[in-house]
Amino acid sequence: MHVEQISIFIENKFGRLAEVTRILGDAGVNIRTLSLADTSDFGILRLIVNDTEKARTVLKERGFTVSKTEVVAVEIPDRPGGLADILQVLDADGINVEYMYAFVERCGENAVMIFRFDETQKAITTLTSKNFNVLPGNRLYSM
In the chain, domain spans: 3-69, 73-132
Q: Predicted confidence band at 62 (pLDDT cuts at 50, 70, 90)?
A: very high
Over residues 32-52, mean pLDDT: 89
Q: Which residues, at least 6 apart from 95, have a Cβ–Cβ distance to it below 8 Å?
A: 117, 118, 119, 122, 123, 126
Largest CA distance in the chain: 46
Q: Predicted confidence band at 142 (pLDDT cuts at 50, 70, 90)?
A: low
* pLDDT of 24 higher than 70: yes
More confident residue, 49 or 141: 49
| pTM attached to this predicted model | 0.79
Q: What is the pLDDT of residue 57?
A: 97
- For residue 6, the surrounding DSSP H or E stretch is strand 3-11
Task: Classify domain 3-69 by CATH architecture.
Answer: 2-Layer Sandwich (3.30)
Nearest to 134 by CA among 71, 50, 69: 71
28 conformational bin, left if phi > 0, alpha if psi -120 to 50, beta if neither: left
Two domains, one topology: 3-69 and 73-132: no
Q: What is the pLDDT of residue 116?
A: 82
* pLDDT of 3 higher than 60: yes
Bridge partners of 132, per DSSP, are none
Give the separation between CA 138 and CA 126, rounded to whole angstroms: 21
Q: 73-132 in CATH: which number?
A: 3.30.70.260
Q: What is the pLDDT of residue 138?
A: 72
